[in-house]
Each structure stands twice: as structure tokens, then as C-alpha cells.
Chains A and B, each alone.
Chain A
């Protein structure tokens, strides 16, 4: 029996081949220099049992095998009215590299009995699997759905891969349809609106850029300005512009509060009690509270509540892609693209599990202890190897209660991949790339934290009653740090000592103060904030969020500005003008807000569930965009006017 296995990347093909073959492989080149063919024998496939060892050829693609586009002869830029693109025929073509890869697959498929897809287990991977199947059929007409299998795997640990080879499933045709829908819609809406926007605004933007550059004596940029539209790009831009607008329109407000200061003679220390009502935005009202309390209760308050209760600092949930990107941005100031790229390289090297996952729950059957074990048995001592060993063996005399605990279960499960976790233990000297080193360390520490005990503390809260107004003070004593010892980015520390007071005890107030303050403007958007907003609102996927952010930077819709240690995202004149321009046309909810994209994402999920078809979704959304296009086309001048207005007002006005 002959089996052709095809992975999404060469590094995966190589790793899987090594595992299945036990190291006995013949490697040969393919027509495309970055793809190799691996030949070996393997007898574990369930579909070929009883037929002895199979002759396996494993190869790969390099991402998508085809590109979807319009026929350039009829629908190239300037050759048609962009409106025609909503109904134009779409063709699947290959660039020269894709042609080489396709030829390789056709050749290798010629005499095989089975085709097994080893692409990444996500919706996109399912679609690439279908592209591979279509290509393989060109070389072997005997291939059909009956001899097509799909490996389900999420990392490159040996047992996991062998299990995937032994228990293949079928390609999910509905997921393929969903991705096909997304590709078609992105193409039709993206190309038509990009041409419309570029034809309308590019000249003006170029002139403006030129005059600015002349003023600044900067070299002229000869690249043609493209003003692109993308159904994820624009809502991403919308978040940043909305924040900018909020800052610009911010009006500070004064607020007032009351606080009591009590001196503890036994400890010669003072404790500040804050008002249970927080602060109020009306001076006269606070003054009334203050004067009435002062007049009726003087300097006497009574203890109305004393609580001392154990508090818990929860260990983190298992790690998802978005959490990884968010925290790498917060802790290491890495942007989303950098952290995802580093994580993917770590995955391809077999160091961590598949890094594109929404799942924050480990399956109960997963052997997490063996993964922790690898962190001190498989590698040279690292900063966390002793912690890992103590966690399993309970050897830490300072933290005897910090023993292995199965991680908390989050509420997300994409049914494809487990949370991100380290697969093997490696020493600190293995890394040459500093980003990979940081991300690996973060993944390991986060994983160990997940498998540790929660932090334990004791919180004492005292409340005072001053003429029926309640004032509170809290004090924390940290008893057991546990997971916090391996997660240095999280602070949890003892607070000030509390006075010794008992319930109903009369307390003499040393000082009663009425204080004021002002609201502060929000800070500009950080990348980690933007990632969370995109994730929460269904803009992009864990795999594409970073690309969308990079795209709007590349298009000069936003800039990334470093202020002190933080990097903020700010919109440019063009970015603001695009958002405000569509608002002026009356298409605010369709372009720069997340509503439209979220609706489409819901429709794609319905395709996956079988309640909608690709045709239904495409027709519905294309019709909406035709209407948006006509309205935009009729109001082109408004876009230009808004651009001029934004330019005149400036970014800081």
C-alpha cells in the first residue's frame, strides 16, 4: 500500500516523518527548493491494517496552494468598472512557486492508494487540505473521498503524532465551504472598494505626502499609494480612531470624596479609611455629606464591620493565542506579529504546541505531569527547572503546599487544539533569537503557573460608621505565593498593617478630609488592548489579528509611537479621514465598526454547522456591498472633503 501524506509546511512534514519512521528516512528534493519529500515505511495506519507496512511519502505545501483572483485580462485595474467585480468570475490560479509545489503533489500522488492530509487543524488548514486533494486528483483519478484521510494533531510530541496517524478522520467539507466563502467575499469586497478608494483619494493623499515631504526635505516616495479596504482592516482601524476621538473630545471633570484618618496609638501609625460611596461628581453634595457628618457625629465613629477572610490569587487560565499576544505585548513590548511569529517557529521546532488556539481548557486525559517533568529532566538547569521539580515532587520546604494541581478550566474550546504549552524542555542556551527565547520562557512559566496552587492570603477589612456613612480600610497579608513565584510579571504583596479594632468599638477620628480630583483622559490604544478588542468583537482570528494590525500600519492608517516604555497606536490623517468619511456617507456601522464583520463570522459558523450554504451567504453579503458601493461612489466628494477637513484640523487639535 502506498500513502501520500501532505503537511502545511516542510518543517511539519520533516518532524512527522521522523516520528513515524523512527528516523529511517530517504530525503529527496522537490521542484520547489523549500519543500522536501520524505520516504519511509510505516505500518500504523488504521485504514491500511492487515496489509503490512505502507510505503509512505510525506511532503508539504507552503501555505495555500492556489490564489483566488479575477481574470486580469478582463478585470484588471482600469479595465473594468470595479462594481462589476461583485459578479465577475473568479479563477483559481497558481504563482510559479505554487505551480512547482502542485506539480510535486501530482507526481507523488500518481500511484498512491491513500492521501492523508496533515495540515494545521483549523478552518484554514481544512481548506488547504481540500486544495491538496484537488491537486492530487489531477495526478491520480482513483483518489476520492473514500481514500482521503485527515490527521488530527495539535503538536509534534511523538505519542501525539503516532496517535494522530492511527486515528485519522475525514476532511470537514463544511469548514472548506466556510473558508471558500470568506475568501470570495474578502476578494470581491476588498478589490472593488480598494480600487474605488484608491481612484478617489490616492492622488490627494500623494499630493499631501509630497508637500509634507518637501517641507521636511525627505526623499520622495515613488511607490504608488494604495488605499486599501479590507473587511477586518477597517474595523481594526475603527477601534484606534474611536480611541483617538475619545481622547480628543475628552473633557475633564472634577470629583470629590471624603476620607477619615485614624491613628493607632499602639503602633503609632495612621490608617486612611476611604468613603464607601467612592467619589461624587458634585461638590455641594459632598460638602453636605461632610458637614452633616461632622456636625452630628463630630470626631466619633464606630466600627461597624470587621472581617478577616482568606483570599485567593487565582492562577492563570491555560494559554490561548490572544492571551499570549496580549501578554507578550504587555510584558516584553513585542507586537502581535512578532510574538506569533516566534511562537510558530517554536512550534515548528517542536518546542511548544500549536500556537493558534482559542482553547483555555486542558482535556482531563492529558498527561500534564510528564510535560512538567520534561522541564527538569530533559534539559540543563534553567531558571524554572527547580520550580518544576518541586511542583511534582513537593520538595520545596519554603512552599510545601505548592504541589501539582490540574489547571483551571476556562470557557473556550475550539475543539481543535489544546491550550499552548511546552512540549519539550530545553535549556536557555538553545536559542539564538531573543524573541523566541522570551516567548518560550513565557509559555513555560505560564504553563507551570497553570499547574500550580493558587496564591493564598488573608484580607482584613474594617468599616467605620460615621453618622451612617461607611468608610473602609483593607489590609492584605500574603501567606503563600505559590504560582506567583514562577510568574514574575504579576505583583501581589503585603499591604500596610491594619489597626487593632473590634466590632462596635468607638473610634476617634484624627482627621476628616474632603478631597478632590479630576478625571483623566484615556491613554492612546496599546497593541495588547487592540488585540483584545478585536478578539472580543470577532475581528480576525487568532491567526490573522496580527496581520490586520500590520496591514493598517503598512497602509499608513495608523502609526506606532513609542512614549517612554509604552508603545501606542495613533491614527494618521488618512486613517481618521477614512473612518469619518464613511460616517459622513452614512455607512458608519458597515465599515469602521465591528458589526458587519461579526455578522459574517456568524454566517460562516452557520455554514460549518450546515444551517446556511456558501451561496446564500455570498449572495446576501455581496448584495449589501453593492448598495454600499453605489452610495460611496455617489458620495466620493464627501470622502475628499472629510480628508481636507481632518488635515486642516490636524491630529492634535
Chain B
């Protein structure tokens, strides 16, 4: 079910099902609540440290693992989609059929106990430190971001899944700062969004990489000269 569908009807507040404590009640209540910042004239990127004052229902448009580079995710997906054509020159466990498993274990400096500087391969699996960025949509079609700050299991979270962001959550510059205690996963999915999901994600990553590089190039020498240690923001704390 698409949350933005204007024909959605839910039991009214006097209906007995609305009185039963449980997930349904939470979904109905949060659906009924005034959507977040709808019709707000403010620039949400300038809104800092707001606290959510009611439970809010959203649907997930996309989940991205932002702990891993897009290039490495793109490569992994490419291998899964077309294992025969996978590139075989770097460390990455094949995700394809066993016949096309590739052992590409080359970490020449492993003996040195020094961290590798290959930022393209941050490990293939997610771990408890992984941060997911969700693009979420309210029933009024307003779009926000949310980031996970706790070990988040993406199992059961599909494109179109519903989540409730609870009262007390911090909202900063258009981003919900999600803690374990203030998010409820309501599962579900939107089937036509899910069709060819891997191919869509593949295309998205490819285009995003292209766009980011065009941006980097157009920034020209500023970006090049800034090198790897350019400070984006420094805070001197007294």
C-alpha cells in the first residue's frame, strides 16, 4: 500500500480496534497525526535540533548503506547481476553462483597490521557500526532523510515498508537522528517499487557516481587542491 494514496481509509478513532494496544493502533494513530512539516515555508536544512512532538508514519523509499562506498556497492551488484563479467583483480568475495566464485585475496600489507587505505573496499558485509540512510516519505509526499545510529537490521525493510518515528526523535537539517527506542518497523512493501530492485539500485548507483564526479570535476581545482585532509568544519571547544 502506498501511503500517499489519497483513498486510504482507516478505522475512525472510536472504532474498537483503535483502542487495542498494538502495532495496528500505533500505525493508525501515527497515520492520523499531522504530517511532519507539511506546508512549512521554512528551509528544512536550516532547522536544527528540533524534537519530534508526535509519532509520525512514513514509508521507506530507499535504504542506502553509507558506510560503504558507492563504487564497492556498484561492483558487488554488478557481480551479482552478471557474475561471468565480474572484475577479478581485487579483494572481494563473489556473490554469484559458486562456479563463478573468485578468490581475490590480495592485501599486500596485511602483515604490517596497518589499516589499508583502500577506501573502495570497506568490507562486504554490514556490521553493527554500519550507518544506513533512509529516504522516507510522509502521507503528504514530503520527503526527508533518516539515519540509523544503532545496529540496524535491514531484514524486513523493503522499498515501501512503513516505519513509525516516535515522539522525542531529534530532527536536524532535514534528517531524523534515529535511536533504537524511537523507531518502530511496520514492515510491508510496495510491490511495483520492488520489481527489478537490484537493477534499479545498480542504475541509481551508476548515475549517482557519474553525477558526483561531474560535480567534483566542475568544482575543479578547489576539490583537487583540497586533498584528503581538507577540514569541512572545525570546532574549537573551550
Chain A residues near B (Cβ < 8 Å): 238-240, 242-243, 245-246, 250-256, 276-285, 287-292, 294-295, 298-299, 313, 316, 330, 468-469, 490-492, 508-520, 522, 525-526, 528-529, 532-533, 536-537, 583, 588-589, 593-595, 599
Given contacts A284-B174, A519-B120, A529-B106, contact A277 B131 (CB under 8 A): yes
Question: How many A-B residue contacts, CB cutoff 8 Å?
Answer: 176
Given contacts A288-B147, A519-B119, A519-B120, contact A277 B67 (CB under 8 A): yes
User: Interface size of B by Cβ–Cβ distance < 8 Å?
Assistant: 61
Chain B residues near A (Cβ < 8 Å): 48-49, 64, 66-71, 84-90, 99-100, 102-106, 108, 111-113, 117-120, 122, 129, 131, 133, 145, 147, 149, 170, 172-175, 177, 209-210, 212-213, 216, 226, 228-238
Which of B102, B175, B209 has a CB less than 8 Å from the CB of A537?
A: B102
Which of A277, A294, A492, A514 has a CB less than 8 Å from the CB of B231?
A: A514
Given the complex, which residues of A lie within 8 Å of B86, measured CB to CB?
593
For chain B, what secondary structure do more than half of its interface residues adopt (helix, strand, loop), or is it mixed? loop
Contact assessment for B104 and A533 in the assembled complex, using a CB-CB cutoff below 8 Å = yes
Given the complex, which residues of A lie within 8 Å of B172, measured CB to CB?
288, 291-292
Given the complex, which residues of A lie within 8 Å of B230, measured CB to CB?
515-516
Q: How far is the CA of A60 from the CA of B231 in the complex (A)?
A: 70
Given the complex, which residues of A lie within 8 Å of B66, measured CB to CB?
280-282, 285
For chain A, what secondary structure do more than half of its interface residues adopt (helix, strand, loop), or is it mixed? mixed
**CB-nearest residue of chain B to A330:** B108
Given the complex, which residues of A lie within 8 Å of B118, measured CB to CB?
520, 522
**CB-nearest residue of chain B to A274:** B115
Q: How far is the CA of A246 from the CA of B49 in the complex (A)?
A: 42
A-B pairs with the 10 shortest C-beta distances?
A: A299-B237, A517-B228, A589-B84, A243-B89, A242-B89, A536-B103, A519-B119, A282-B66, A242-B87, A288-B175
Given the complex, which residues of B lie within 8 Å of A277, measured CB to CB?
67, 129, 131
Shortest Cβ gap from A252 to chain B (Å): 6
Given contacts A284-B173, A295-B49, A517-B228, contact A511 B235 (CB under 8 A): yes
Given contacts A519-B119, A537-B88, contact A313 B113 (CB under 8 A): yes
Q: How far is the CA of A510 from the CA of B235 in the complex (A)?
A: 9
Given the complex, which residues of A lie within 8 Å of B106, measured CB to CB?
529, 532-533, 536
Contact assessment for A279 and B147 in the assembled complex, using a CB-CB cutoff below 8 Å = no
**CB-nearest residue of chain A to B233:** A514
**CB-nearest residue of chain B to A285:** B147
Shortest Cβ gap from A57 to chain B (Å): 47
Contact assessment for B119 and A279 in the assembled complex, using a CB-CB cutoff below 8 Å = yes
Shortest Cβ gap from A513 to chain B (Å): 5
Given contacts A253-B69, A518-B228, contact A289 B149 (CB under 8 A): yes
Shortest Cβ gap from A324 to chain B (Å): 15
Given contacts A283-B232, A533-B106, A537-B102, contact A292 B49 (CB under 8 A): yes
Which of B113, B229, B237 has a CB less than 8 Å from the CB of A515?
A: B229
Which of B64, B120, B226, B235 has a CB less than 8 Å from the CB of A512?
A: B235
Given contacts A277-B67, A533-B104, contact A522 B149 (CB under 8 A): no
Q: How far is the CA of A525 from the CA of B88 in the complex (A)?
A: 12
Given the complex, which residues of A lie within 8 Å of B90, measured CB to CB?
243, 246, 522
Given the complex, which residues of A lie within 8 Å of B108, measured CB to CB?
330, 526, 528-529, 532
